[in-house]
């Protein structure tokens, strides 16, 4: 508990971006806010606007219709900005890479700081991933 | 034979070809020119529940199925017609069955079938600047 | 420009001023999922734009063999994860005419009903959130975790259970797991009682939801509405009763129907259905302890033909049509999720209502969560963007607070 709170520099605001998703990763992200996992005790909060976010959590894959919107939301994010790919679809496209509506994996569109695989990753995995990311960043300062 | 199916047979006689796969699955072949009339009878007069339309590409035509449920009898009646290529035009039922508006738009863009008098023939799923190849046509016109 | 500040009352004398906010770029023209056009406070038009979630699954299905398809269609929706494999497998079983083993029927119904429970808990939470009852949100999702735990122990995963296959189910349940699951399921009755009391007895919720977003029986027919959305409008069909499959005609349970078609009735239908789901699950678990046997009909060849499968997902009927040419892959797989016919009903239920009620009405058909994130409000005259979905949620929550204040003040 002490290690976790020390490893967070500041209160992280995360913005959730769900593209072509089955919603499972999105629900597990929200689940992480609920009493059992309670992300908020680490100071992690869902930001209402991308302009207030430190981290963008991407769920699902980027399909052709969403590409321009996704790029635009990324530019609206204030620096320093981190993108975390959550779930198999965001990490690699999952089983949808063969689809006629598939565009590219997230990391070919924007730089990705962390990948949290799973289908869906459990809330514990999501929290662990975000904490790992922040620890790594703090270590590299 | 089911009461409702009898009524359909009585009303349209040999303009139809009724195939009873089982008590719960009825397939009715109909000519494109009788499409809206038969659909209207099943939807309005017999008050069946509209479920969805299916479009399948075949060699010389696009097969269009319109599925209705008779929930009291636990039966699905599927109206089938062949929309000949290359023209691929048939009357829309969306002005009568509001719920069919979306699926006709979808079939237009993925199979290239034109639904005459459709209230809103815009792209539904694909981007407006899609390259024109119909994803579900095997000959990819 | 960053905070919404509404100088408002509900009385007629003062006009509501809404300051436009939101994370949109002035030049952004990308259409949102729900585009509400407003004149003052009234919604005068709604435009629904699809495509953000389009993944081309029907086409991908043609490239997979029949046993691989369930893994694909499971991922159509995370919340109705098992509903699509259920309908698909029934479509394939319709082609072959095979009857699945009895034990498999009970297992299918158990998985399906547990999924319904978790989905309805989720919905109750979201509805609570939109209303501003964040405690309801937290508690509903907390109890939902019990269902997730049961699923994890029985099937191996919290979602995407990979349980259903053409011909039966993939995994069996052990007796000791059944006993544990039965105990856990029974612990859910009290929380549902709590939510039921909270919804049915709360005068503020009555004020927010009764008479709001009414879908008439005629409109339910015109749109082909399904599930709780239709049953709340007095349309008394449920695929589990009308087109029975799995174990639904082997156990005792009731279809829940209301008559007013408003948001309140949609909530009541869902909450009362949760009791029925528990009834079904308990009976099926008991039968599993007695009924040993095979869980798989071992389908090998799929003959030429076509089949239709239907399943009552938490949101309504899931419809799958599969066409086979005798090879080991489907040549056509048509998938229709319930939201495809339920979401368009928004044209009839939201227009004419106030913008504060919009999120609640849209949420009452229980559409995909990501889709409800993407709402935008436009001025009908100038076409200028006014609000985003998040602003709408805040408006809705404020209205509840105001109504609650008026009752005590």
pLDDT in tens, A53-104: 888 999 988 888 788 888 988 998 888 888 999 999 999 988 888 888 788 8
Q: Do B127 and A65 touch (CB under 8 A)?
A: yes
Question: Which chains does chain A touch, 3 or more C-beta pairs < 8 A?
Answer: B, C
Q: In the CATH scheme, what is the code of domain B3-90?
A: 3.30.460.80
Indicate whether C170 and C108 sit together in one domain: yes
Q: What is the DSSP string of C74-120?
A: HTT-STTTTHHHHHHHHHHHHHHT----HHHHHHHHHHHHHHHHHHH
Sequence ranges of the domains in chain A: 2-133
- Asked if C160 and A24 touch (Cβ cutoff 8 Å), the reply is yes
Using the predicted structure, report yes or no on whether residue C118 has a pLDDT greater than 80: yes
Distance (Å, whole) CA A113 – CA A140: 13
Helix (H, G, I), strand (E, B) or coil at B82: strand
Is residue C11 included in any domain, yes or no? no
Q: Which residues of C237-256 are buried (b: 16+ CB within 10 A; e: fewer)?
A: bbbbbbbebbbbebbebeeb
Using the predicted structure, report yes or no on whether residue B29 has a pLDDT greater than 90: yes
Indicate whether C316 and C206 sit together in one domain: yes
| Contact C83/A at CB under 8 A | no
First to last CA, chain C: 32
Using the predicted structure, report yes or no on whether residue C366 has a pLDDT greater than 90: no
Residue contacts between A and C (CB atoms, under 8 Å): 113
Helix (H, G, I), strand (E, B) or coil at C333: strand
The CATH number covering residue C215 comes to: 1.10.645.10
Q: What is the DSSP string of C167-212?
A: TEES----HHHHHHHHHHHHTTHHHHHHHHHHHHH-HHHHHHHTTS
Is residue C255 included in any domain, yes or no? yes
Distance (Å, whole) CA C344 – CA C224: 10
Q: Do A24 and C160 touch (CB under 8 A)?
A: yes
Which DSSP symbol is given to B98?
Answer: G
Using the predicted structure, report yes or no on whether residue C1 has a pLDDT greater than 70: no
Helix (H, G, I), strand (E, B) or coil at C42: strand
Q: Which residues of C13-22 are buried (b: 16+ CB within 10 A; e: fewer)?
A: eeeeebeebb
Is residue C2 included in any domain, yes or no? no
To which H or E segment does residue B16 belong?
A: strand B16-20
pLDDT band at C387 (very low <50, low <70, confident <90, very high): confident
Q: Which of C402, C387, C379 is nearest to C3 (CA)?
A: C387
Q: Name chain A contacts of C25, Cβ cutoff 8 Å.
A: 72, 76
Distance (Å, whole) CA C243 – CA C226: 14
pTM for the structure as a whole: 0.89
Find the CB nearest C368 among A23, A28, A49: A23
B103-107, C222-226, C375-379, C395-399: the lowest-pLDDT one: C375-379
Name the residue with tokens 């599927």.
Answer: B78
Q: Name chain B contacts of C54, Cβ cutoff 8 Å.
A: 125-126
Q: Do C334 and B127 touch (CB under 8 A)?
A: no
The mean per-residue pLDDT over the stretch B33-57 comes to: 96
Question: In this predicted model, which residue has the larger pLDDT, A32 or B34?
Answer: B34
pLDDT digits (tens, 9 = 90+) for C201-260: 889 999 999 999 999 999 999 999 999 999 999 999 999 999 999 999 999 999 999 999
The sheet with strand C385-388 has its strands ordered as C42-48, C34-39, C375-379, C385-388
Count of structural domains, chain C:
2
pLDDT digits (tens, 9 = 90+) for C43-95: 998 888 877 777 888 888 999 999 999 999 998 888 888 999 999 999 999 99
Distance (Å, whole) CA C1 – CA C180: 54
Å between B107 CA and nearest CA of chain C: 11
Question: Mind spelling out the 3-state secondary structure of chain A?
Answer: CHHHHHCCCCCCEEEEEECECCCHHHHHHHHCCCCCCCHHHHCCEECCCHHHCCEEEEECEEECCCHHHHHHHHHHCCCCCEEEEEHHHHHHCHHHCCCCCEEECHHHCCCCCEEECCCCCCHHHHHHHHHHHHHHHHHHC
pLDDT digits (tens, 9 = 90+) for A114-141: 999 999 999 989 888 888 887 887 775 4
pLDDT digits (tens, 9 = 90+) for C29-48: 455 678 888 888 899 988 88
Using the predicted structure, report yes or no on whether residue C18 has a pLDDT greater than 50: no
Question: In this predicted model, which residue has the larger pLDDT, A16 or B107?
Answer: B107
Indicate whether C75 and C181 sit together in one domain: yes
How confident is the prediction for chain C on average, in pLDDT? 87
Tokens of C46: 């709604």
Question: In this predicted model, which residue has the larger pLDDT, C173 or A44?
Answer: C173
Half-sphere exposure of A43 (CA within 13 A, CB side): 15
Beta strands A82-86 and A114-116 are parallel
pLDDT band at C26 (very low <50, low <70, confident <90, very high): very low
Helix %, strand %, coil % for chain C, to 5? Answer: 50, 15, 40
Q: Which residues of C touch B (CB under 8 A)?
A: 50-51, 54, 56, 58-59, 94, 219, 221-225, 237, 242-244, 306-308, 310, 317, 319, 321, 323, 331-332, 334, 336, 340-341, 344
Second-level CATH architecture of A2-133: 3-Layer(aba) Sandwich (3.40)
Using the predicted structure, report yes or no on whether residue C15 has a pLDDT greater than 50: no
Q: Do B74 and C341 touch (CB under 8 A)?
A: no
Q: What is the CA radius of gyration of chain C?
A: 22
CA distances from C340 to A70, A95, C229, C343 (A): 25, 23, 12, 6
The reported pLDDT for the residue numbered C84 is 94
pLDDT band at C27 (very low <50, low <70, confident <90, very high): very low
Indicate whether C80 and C122 sit together in one domain: yes
* Structural domain span for residue C40: 34-52+343-408
> Between vectors from CA A16 to CA A10 and to CA A17, what angle results, nearest 5°?
140
- Asked if C380 and C38 touch (Cβ cutoff 8 Å), the reply is yes
CB contacts under 8 A, B 90-129 vs A, are 125-127
pLDDT digits (tens, 9 = 90+) for C159-204: 899 999 999 999 999 999 999 999 999 999 999 999 999 888 889 9
Tokens of C237: 């069909």
Tokens of C29: 């023209």
Is residue C138 included in any domain, yes or no? yes
- The answer, yes or no, to whether ipTM is higher than 0.90 is yes
Indicate whether C259 and C321 sit together in one domain: yes
Entry field: residues in chain C: 409
As a whole-number percent, the residues of chain C with pLDDT over 70 amount to 90
How confident is the prediction for chain B on average, in pLDDT? 92
Q: Do B49 and C237 touch (CB under 8 A)?
A: yes
Q: Name chain C contacts of B102, Cβ cutoff 8 Å.
A: 50, 340, 344
């Amino acid at each position: 508990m002490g290690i976790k709170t020390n490893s967070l520099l500041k209160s992280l605001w995360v913005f959730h971006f769900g593209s072509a998703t089955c919603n499972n990763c999105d629900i597990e992200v929200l689940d992480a806010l609920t009493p059992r996992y309670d992300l908020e005790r680490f100071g992690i909060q869902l930001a209402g606007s991308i302009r207030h976010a430190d981290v963008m959590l991407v769920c699902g894959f980027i399909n052709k219709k969403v590409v321009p919107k996704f790029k635009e939301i990324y530019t609206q994010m204030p620096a320093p900005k981190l993108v975390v790919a959550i779930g198999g679809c965001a990490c690699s496209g999952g089983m949808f890479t063969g689809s006629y509506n598939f565009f590219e994996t997230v990391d070919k569109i924007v730089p990705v700081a962390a990948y949290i695989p799973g289908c869906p990753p459990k809330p514990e995995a999501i929290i662990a991933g975000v904490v790992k990311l922040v620890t790594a960043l703090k270590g590299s300062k | 034979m089911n009461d409702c199916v009898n009524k359909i047979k009585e009303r349209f006689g040999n303009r139809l070809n009724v195939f009873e796969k089982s008590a719960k699955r009825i397939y009715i072949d109909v000519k494109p020119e009788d499409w809206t009339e038969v659909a209207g009878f099943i939807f309005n007069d017999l008050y069946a529940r509209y479920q969805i339309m299916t479009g399948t590409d075949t060699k010389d035509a696009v097969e269009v199925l319109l599925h209705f449920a008779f929930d009291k009898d636990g039966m699905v009646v599927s109206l089938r017609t062949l929309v000949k290529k290359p023209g691929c035009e048939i009357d829309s039922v969306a002005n009568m069955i509001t719920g069919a508006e979306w699926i006709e738009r979808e079939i237009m863009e993925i199979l290239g079938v034109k639904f005459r008098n459709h209230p809103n023939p815009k792209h539904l799923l694909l981007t407006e600047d899609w390259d024109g190849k119909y994803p579900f046509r095997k000959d990819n016109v | 420009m960053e905070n919404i500040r509404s100088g408002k009352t509900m009385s007629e004398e003062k006009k509501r001023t809404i300051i436009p906010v939101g994370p949109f770029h002035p030049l952004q023209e990308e259409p949102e999922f729900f585009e509400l056009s407003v004149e003052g406070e009234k919604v005068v038009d709604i435009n629904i734009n699809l495509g953000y979630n389009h993944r081309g699954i029907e086409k991908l299905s043609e490239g997979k063999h029949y046993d691989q398809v369930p893994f694909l269609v499971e991922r159509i929706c995370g919340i109705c994860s098992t509903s699509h494999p259920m309908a698909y497998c029934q479509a394939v079983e319709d082609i072959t005419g095979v009857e699945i083993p009895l034990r498999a029927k009970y297992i299918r119904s158990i998985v399906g009903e547990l999924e319904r429970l978790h989905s309805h808990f989720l919905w109750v939470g979201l509805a609570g959130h939109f209303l501003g009852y964040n405690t309801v949100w937290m508690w509903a999702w907390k109890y939902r975790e019990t269902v997730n735990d049961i699923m994890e122990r029985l099937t191996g995963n919290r979602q995407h259970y990979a349980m259903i296959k053409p011909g039966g189910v993939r995994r069996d349940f052990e007796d000791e797991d059944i006993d544990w699951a039965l105990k856990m399921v029974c612990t859910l009755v009290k929380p549902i009682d709590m939510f039921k009391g909270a919804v049915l007895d709360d005068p503020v919720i009555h004020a927010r939801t009764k008479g709001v977003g009414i879908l008439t029986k005629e409109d339910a027919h015109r749109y082909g509405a399904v599930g709780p959305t239709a049953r709340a409008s007095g349309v008394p069909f449920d695929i589990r009763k009308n087109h029975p499959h799995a174990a639904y005609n082997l156990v005792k349970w009731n279809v829940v129907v209301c008559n007013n078609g408003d948001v309140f009735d949609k909530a009541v239908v869902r909450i009362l259905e949760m009791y029925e789901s528990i009834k079904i699950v308990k009976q099926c678990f008991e039968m599993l302890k007695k009924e040993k046997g095979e869980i798989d009909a071992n389908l090998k060849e799929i003959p030429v033909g076509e089949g239709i499968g239907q399943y009552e997902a938490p949101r309504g009927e899931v419809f799958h049509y599969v066409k086979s040419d005798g090879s080991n892959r489907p040549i056509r797989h048509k998938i229709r999720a319930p939201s495809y016919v339920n979401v368009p009903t928004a044209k009839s239920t939201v227009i004419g209502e106030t913008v504060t009620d919009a999120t609640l009405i849209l949420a009452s058909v229980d559409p995909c969560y990501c889709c409800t994130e993407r709402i935008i409000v436009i001025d009908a005259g100038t076409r200028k963007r006014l609000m985003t979905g998040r602003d709408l949620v805040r408006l809705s929550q404020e209205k509840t607070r105001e109504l609650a204040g008026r009752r005590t003040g």
